[in-house]
Amino acid sequence: MNVDRSNWIYRQKFYENIFLAASIFFLIVSATILGALLFDLVRSGASRLSWTLFSSFPSRFPEKAGILSAWVGTLLVMLVTSLTAIPLGVAAGIYLEEYAPKNRLTALIEINISNLAGVPSIVFGLMALGIFVYKLSLGQSVLSAGLTLALLILPIIIVTTREAIRAIPLSIREGAYALGATKWQVTKDHVLPYSSGGILTGIIIALSRAIGETAPLVTIGALTFIAFLPGSPVQAAPPFINFEWLTSPFTVLPIQMFNWISRPDPEFHKNAAAAGLVLLLITLSLNAIAIFLRIRFRRRVRW
Amino acid sequence: MVAVAPIFAQEKIKARVDNLQFFYGKTQALKDINFFVPEKKVVALIGPSGCGKTTLLRCFNRMHDLYPNMHYSGRILLEPDGVDILNAKVDPIELRMKIGMVFQKPNPFPKSIYENVAYGLRIRGEKVESFIEGKVESALRDAALWDEVKDRLQNAASSLSGGQQQRLCMARSLATDPDIILFDEPTSALDPIATARIEELIDELKSRVTILIVTHNMQQAGRVADYTAFMYLGELAEFDRTSKIFTNPTQKLTEQYVTGCFG
């Protein structure tokens, strides 16, 4: 080996090590920031994490104030969001990937869906205020809020669904078509089962984003002080399902946090930190569910 | 109707390809293809890369319909009914139920061995599990795979070796009793031993089904095919008995190709 070449290799390895060191440094920085954030939340909020926090309505007294209406609101809003965004988004993704003819119109639609994913959430809030709250007279309700967040995350679900579907090799589809399968049979027997892990992950990432949204909900008129719960969706007497909750005013966890943090009394800041911990826990458990489901679905599909 | 060429005098005809043209968008990939596929015989399609062998093969089960901007003209008449399978009125789904296909790379579904073979029956609405079981077994036997997998039918198809996977794909298309099976370079991803087994199977299968096989391997065509079509630049340069193509071809080009002067 001549000297020049070994020198060159040495230099390349040197660059590689610089890159590696930089990567590790940035990784440590971001992990430290996350850790510090968590530590700070726990330090100031842990003392407020108690049953009272979960079971009390907001109050003028920080030690009596709780997040009951906020977490119930978050749950109900997310229920509406999931029920609308998941079927719509997955169906749209399947249509665009499997059924839509590849022409200029679909190309235009595809570009716009990707663009929608980048629209600031407050813009969705403004649109929802105009359409859902006023035009369709849905009011400042759980329904309006759920639909607004559904619109917000729809593009994310569509895009991740399409990516999951696109990962299925063409040879598998051709194998099924060659046996005489129809498009729907190929979709339900192959495309959906093999991509369900990826689709689910996308759905949960989208829901985790929706759960922390504040701006669009403030825009459509979420309240910050709610001392009652919406009617229960299920009831003991027939017809067992109740839709009254859909029209109820609402608040959600991030808004409750925002309200507390903007008060001068530092005792309320502890409440905000505790609510933040709860929100973080919900998000983390959503992610845990995503990982669990992905592993389960991957086990069922046997590549 | 095209006149029957002398070489087919003793053969029963399964399909007639009549003046077939095929276009990918504006590019013509197949020009004026005319030949016959005799029943229960093996027809090999050979020729250099890009000559249109696979394109021609995929016309037989209208796989091109899955993609935009592709069109056919001419006819492929399926005997004994004389149905033109390229006719837009013929449902490609119905057609593919009668014409099976085995691909270049083994492409088992990421399901169990059993479900792979059963799938063709399931999409035909077959519900009786005992019937499906019987069919799965006989298809796996026909594909000479039964003894190797009978104790692990519920295992993943991906746990099989490449050669086994390809035989599984054969069993998958055999389970529905097709009239014709199309093989698209079925052994190009396999080692010589696995290749020999597939070739043996093709030889056994021709007592029951008509076979069309695309191959890059001229020795393979020589070993398995009764008839061979030599294609060049989208045209059918020569079609004859395999022995004739390899020993005494009419065209200079065919001779050059089969003797390895180009390709």
Contacts of B108 in chain A (CB under 8 A): 175
Residue B6 has pLDDT above 70, yes or no: no
Q: Which two tokens stand for residue B220?
A: 């393979």
Residue A303 has pLDDT above 70, yes or no: no
DSSP string spanning A170-238?
HHHHHHHHHTT--HHHHIIIIIHHHHHHHHHHHHHHHHHHHHT--HHHHHTT--S---S-PPPSB-SST
Query: A36-63, pLDDT tens digit by residue?
Result: 988 888 888 887 777 777 777 777 777 7
Band (B99; pLDDT cuts 50, 70, 90): very high
d(Cα B258, Cα B225) in Å, to the nearest integer? 14
Q: CB B96 to CB A179 under 8 A?
A: yes
d(Cα B188, Cα B213) in Å, to the nearest integer? 12
A287 and A201 Cβ atoms separated by less than 8 Å: no
d(Cα B173, Cα B110) in Å, to the nearest integer? 16
Contacts of B110 in chain A (CB under 8 A): 172, 194, 301-303
B25 domain-assigned: yes
Tell me the residues of B at the A interface, defined by beta carbons under 8 Å apart: 61, 63, 66, 68, 93-94, 96-97, 100-101, 103, 105, 107-112, 119-120, 122-124, 156-159, 169, 172-173, 176
Give mean pLDDT, residues A173-187: 94
Number of domains in chain B: 1
Sheet containing B235-241: order of strands: B83-84, B70-78, B13-24, B27-38, B235-241, B227-232, B42-46, B210-214, B180-184, B99-102
B4 domain-assigned: no
d(Cα A76, Cα A250) in Å, to the nearest integer? 9
B166 and B102 Cβ atoms separated by less than 8 Å: yes
- Cα B66 to the center of its chain, rounded Å: 18
Give mean pLDDT, residues A8-17: 92
Q: CB A190 to CB B109 under 8 A?
A: yes
Q: CB A175 to CB B124 under 8 A?
A: no
Contacts of B107 in chain A (CB under 8 A): 169, 171-172, 174-175
B41 domain-assigned: yes
Residue A83 has pLDDT above 50, yes or no: yes
Neighbours of A292 (CB within 10 A): 11
B20 domain-assigned: yes
Measure in Å the smallest separation between the Cα of B77 and chain A Cα atoms. 19
B1 domain-assigned: no
- Cα B17 to the center of its chain, rounded Å: 15
A104 CB near a chain B CB, below 8 Å? Answer: no
B263 domain-assigned: no
B15 and B37 Cβ atoms separated by less than 8 Å: yes
Query: B184-228, pLDDT tens digit by residue?
Result: 999 988 889 989 989 999 999 999 999 999 998 888 999 999 999
Amino acid letter at B167?
R
Burial B46-67 (b: 16+ CB within 10 A, else e): bbeeebbbbbbbbbbbbbbbbe
Q: CB A303 to CB B108 under 8 A?
A: no
pTM (two decimals): 0.82
d(Cα B60, Cα B84) in Å, to the nearest integer? 10
Per-residue pLDDT, A69: 81
Per-residue pLDDT, B176: 92
From A3-7, B62-66, B101-105, the region with the lowest mean pLDDT: A3-7
B136: domain CATH number is 3.40.50.300
A86 and A156 Cβ atoms separated by less than 8 Å: no
Neighbours of B240 (CB within 10 A): 20
Amino acid letter at A194?
Y
Closest by Cβ to A180, choosing from B96, B105, B109? B96
B2 domain-assigned: no
**Helical spans, DSSP H, in chain B:** 53-59, 92-98, 113-123, 129-142, 146-149, 162-174, 192-205, 218-224, 242-247, 252-258
Query: Do the bridges between strand B70-78 and strand B83-84 make them parallel or antiparallel, or are there none, so unpaired?
Result: antiparallel
Q: CB B96 to CB A182 under 8 A?
A: no
Q: CB B176 to CB A179 under 8 A?
A: yes
Per-residue pLDDT, B263: 64
Query: A100-133, pLDDT tens digit by residue?
Result: 888 889 889 989 998 888 888 889 888 888 888 8
Give the nearest chain B residue to A302 (CA atoms). Answer: B110
- Best CA proximity match to A184, nearest among A95, A276, A249: A95
Instruction: Report the percent of chain A where pLDDT is more than 70.
Output: 93
Band (B1; pLDDT cuts 50, 70, 90): very low
Q: CB B109 to CB A303 under 8 A?
A: no
Q: Which range of residues forms the domain containing residue B35? A: 10-258
Q: CB A175 to CB B172 under 8 A?
A: yes
B232 domain-assigned: yes
Which letter does DSSP use for residue A130 in this model?
I
